[in-house]
Amino acid sequence: MKKMPIQHLMLGIAVPSLLMVSCLTYAEVEHFRYQSEISYRLDAVDVFRMRKAIPEVNVRKTLKPLIGKTFYSQQAFLTALKQELDDEIVNQYQTMLLEKSQQQGQDLAIDVLSDDIIHIAYEAQPKDTTLPTTELINTAKLNGAVKLKKTSDGFTTKNLQVTVNPQSLCVSVVSFKHGVLTEICPDKERSFTLLSQGDYQLNGLGQEFYAPGKLNSNWLGFKRQGGNKMEGYQGGATGNTQFPILYATNPQKQNYALYLDTVYAASWDFMTTPWKVSVSQGKPSFLLMAGEGLPELRQQYMKLVGNPLVPPRKMFGMWLSEYGFDNWQELDDKLKTLKQQAFPIDGVVMDLQWFGNVEGYSSTSQMGTLTWDAKNFPEPEKKIQSLKAKGIGMMLIEESYVSDGLDEHQTLDGKGYLVKDPTTGKAIDTDPNGAGHWWGKGGMIDWTNVAGGDYWHDWKRDPLIEMGVMGHWTDLGEPEIYNARGVFFGDKPHNDAHNIFNYKWLESIYRGYQRNKTAMRPFMMSRSGAPGIQRFGATMWSADIGTNLESLSTQFSMQPNMVLSGIDYYSSDIGGFHRGALRVPSSEREAALNETYTQWFAYSSLFEVPIRPHTENLCNCKETAPDRVGDLASNKASIKLRYQLIPYLYSLAHRANNSAEPVFPSMDYYFGSDPKALNLPGQKMMGKDLMGAAIAKMGQKAVDLYLPAGKWYDYRTGEMTVSKGEWRKQQPVYYNGVIRLPLFARDGAIIPVNPQQKMPLTSDVPLTLAAKIYGTPGTFILYEDDGASNAYLKGELRQTSLTTRVTEEGLLLTVEAKGDYRDAPTARPLSIEWYGIEGKVNAIKLNGKLISGWTQQAGVVSVSTTALPVKKKAELKLVIGS
């Protein structure tokens, strides 16, 4: 439709406020502007302060009925006061009462972005100017033709009715299809309330660990305190990371999402009704998005913040890590025993020791050099290439702190690339007392300075990439340690930068890859962040988590919220970073550690990217590798399952990149209409076709499992069960002493797999095209590329569609590939396991010709073929019955 010019009309309303609305029926963005008059409200703190000024009565008790109530005229307020106090007292103290309670008139601005999305801000805004946003989001992809109609008290779109109270500036949003969504009212200068009736579940909002040992992803009944920081939790320290996107859903589908567009700390109080949202600075500005359920709402959010890049294929395998490897010899010893036990491994993660470790409170601590410790790690480039030849990549930790006795500090300070002292303009010490910290003594890189970030990348990071380093571990990036007096680029105070500090750090890495035309795709593992970091190639882990199953269960609960916040790849220090958090008697410690690690490793092998065992091991007295801690047979079984699933997971990563489909969605993402499927963080989907469950309780041998209505197949055995939406109580999770977490496939699922059986396995694209098929009909697209470069973004990838359907003769599988990438196989065998076959298979035809390479055992048919040309469509027909 042709875009029409935007016009505005001044309308008179009940009070002398201004309402500006469009006269048009269709437009791309429409602007509504309102202003209320002075109002009166007594808050508890105001009444408390008046107790001595009005000694004649107990004002705290007498005026309690009026606390928090708003009056929109002076006369109405005075009348209410006289109902609680004597007229004489009101008349005597009228001036003070009016002065204490007077609220200035407020402004309200609304932009209509689509039929389902409105942008609301409680601030003055020109009538012809679109509301501004932070750099974290981009509303351009949300804008579209809107079927808009003005009303006397607001407007309607195709899907929504929006009503504005001219006195209170409360905004009521109603879905024509589902009813009232919410009423939004200004509260104080930096807060607003949400009144939503019904049995709501509240998700998103990043991560904040709470309620140890309870499986609960629902924020309802809690107060979510935002602002990036580290917090103590169950003997460890976990991240509180602000992603201000709230999903409010209920069985009546009065669903909406609210994105609070701020870089300042925010709080969300869901302990009472109405819910209250507050920002620490500025005035609230937010987008309200309506939708049928989580899939539609998350799609809208991802349009705002961007889709994740595809991680390198090796990141879907296991990466060994600890704090830390002291030298190449220690690392080689860990790799040697992993190889002896036939464990697959795709990479190693180097902690602080790689650049010489750190010295507390020292100006010459090596923190900030990002230069190899040549004594303990000689010839690093040669070592990296040697590991690469064995299929092992390397990721390096880096920090934002630079010791002030280093040449690096002098160089960065001279160029103005460190956070500055506002009085001197020189680098400010991160310790206000000048004594330093555990990492050393010095300053902090200012990532908000683009030139500084680019300089550091080219000077320090790019040479490491040239050596073959394929991942960047950004640590302490909340930032954890800082001087609140420091000023950032453009003379901005710390509060302006705090919650986007790690975002700007990650952005500088991505920008460096783009600017230098680095062929390899960027990958970062971060402890903190902000909305949109996934578009830079960043993932997150939950920080220095404690070694106990209460922490693991909370990790379960945080993952669904992180996925809804846009972070598809969310991981943990497998086994826990702080072993001291395992509070059991010394006689039970070894057994408790082994069980904790075994359950954790099994969970991470199903649901985390990368699989990364990690612990604090400065004493060289602890173990983190899965051949040295936990149950060996169980750890092998868990990692074998993961490597078998990499083709499926890697294809989901491509779907996340091109279509914003989540890799590890919660149960309620695809079963939101089923009340039994809500808030089950111990169960998770992998894409839309696999569902798994985990355990996190000492001595747990079974788990209650919920299967939504439909046919489900045991992933391993193919055993089919029909559920009417039922719980399967006490499903075993150990078989013959080996952990085997439940994993089920939906009817019609096609799961590409790695057909390798013998350990060690590999994450490489398998030569054989193998898949497990469960029932019919179904379809799946297998995505394959070179696994390491950015070529996939230019279309250099192969998409192989696998489709099943019922025919008159029986069942048909069609395999058809399109696209190509460097060194892709031109011919490959097929290996198919098809479960849920009803009836006897009499013959199998490949492209119309009978083949003999197949077997049937009950309802399972296994088919293997010789190598087939990839560019030719293949049809595999199962002839069933007479």
pLDDT digits (tens, 9 = 90+) for 779-817: 999 999 999 999 999 999 999 999 999 999 999 999 999
Residue 797 structure tokens: 């990838």
In this predicted structure, what is the pLDDT of residue 143? 77
Please say if the pLDDT value at position 25 is more than 50: no
Pairing of strands 810-818, 874-880: antiparallel
The 3-state secondary structure of 455-501, one letter per residue:
HHHHHHHHHHHHHCCCEEEECCCCCCCCCCCCEECCCEEHHHHHHHH
Q: Which residues, in sequence order, are bridge partners of residue 266?
A: 279
| Angle CA 46–49–52, to nearest 5 | 140
One-letter amino acid for residue 363 of the chain = S
In this predicted structure, what is the pLDDT of residue 144? 77
What's the whole-number mean pLDDT along residues 123-132?
92
Lowest mean pLDDT among 1-15, 715-729, 735-749, 795-809: 1-15
Percent of the chain whose predicted confidence (pLDDT) is above 90: 88
3-state secondary structure of 4: coil
In this predicted structure, what is the pLDDT of residue 747? 98
Which CA distances in Å does 369 have to 284, 353, 461? 41, 12, 11
- Cβ pair 118, 110 in contact under 8 A: yes
Banded pLDDT at 20 (limits 50, 70, 90): very low
pLDDT tens-digit profile of 811-838?
999 999 999 999 999 999 999 999 999 9
One-letter amino acid for residue 592 of the chain = A
Please say if the pLDDT value at position 725 is more than 70: yes
In this predicted structure, what is the pLDDT of residue 12? 27
Tokens 């091991």 label which residue? 617
pLDDT tens-digit profile of 553-600?
999 999 999 999 999 999 999 999 999 999 999 999 999 999 999 999
Banded pLDDT at 882 (limits 50, 70, 90): low
**How far apart are alpha carbons 64 and 386 in whole angstroms?**
74
Lowest mean pLDDT among 56-65, 332-341, 354-363: 56-65
Residues sharing a CB contact under 8 Å with residue 73, sequence separation 6 or more, in sequence order: none
Q: Which residues, in sequence order, are bridge partners of residue 753?
A: 770
In this predicted structure, what is the pLDDT of residue 531? 98
Angle between helices 74-84 and 94-101 (to 10 degrees): 120
Please say if the pLDDT value at position 720 is more than 90: yes
Please say if the pLDDT value at position 879 is more than 60: yes
**How far apart are alpha carbons 415 and 392 in whole angstroms?**
38
Please say if the pLDDT value at position 39 is more than 90: no
Please say if the pLDDT value at position 760 is more than 80: yes
pLDDT tens-digit profile of 202-255?
999 999 999 998 999 999 999 999 899 999 999 999 999 999 999 999 999 999
**How far apart are alpha carbons 703 and 688 in whole angstroms?**
22
- The average confidence (pLDDT) of the chain is 94
In this predicted structure, what is the pLDDT of residue 3? 33
**How far apart are alpha carbons 693 and 743 in whole angstroms?**
7
Residue 284: asked if its preceding bond is cis (omega within 30°), the reply is: no
DSSP annotation of 754: -
Closest by alpha carbon to 681, among 88, 74, 215?
Answer: 215
In this predicted structure, what is the pLDDT of residue 832? 98
In this predicted structure, what is the pLDDT of residue 846? 98
Banded pLDDT at 320 (limits 50, 70, 90): very high
DSSP annotation of 412: H
Banded pLDDT at 28 (limits 50, 70, 90): low
Residue 446 structure tokens: 């200012």
What's the whole-number mean pLDDT along residues 440-468?
98
Please say if the pLDDT value at position 184 is more than 80: yes
Please say if the pLDDT value at position 18 is more than 90: no
- Cβ pair 349, 320 in contact under 8 A: yes
Lowest mean pLDDT among 36-45, 341-350, 480-489, 597-606: 36-45
Please say if the pLDDT value at position 701 is more than 90: yes
* Torsion (CA) 717, 721, 725, 729 in degrees, nearest 10: -60
Q: Is 797 left (phi over 0), alpha (psi -120 to 50) or beta?
A: beta
Which CA distances in Å does 220 have to 198, 200, 251, 670, 679? 12, 8, 15, 21, 11
Q: How many CB atoms lie within 10 A of CB 742?
A: 22
Residues sharing a CB contact under 8 Å with residue 24, sequence separation 6 or more, in sequence order: 4, 6, 7, 30, 148
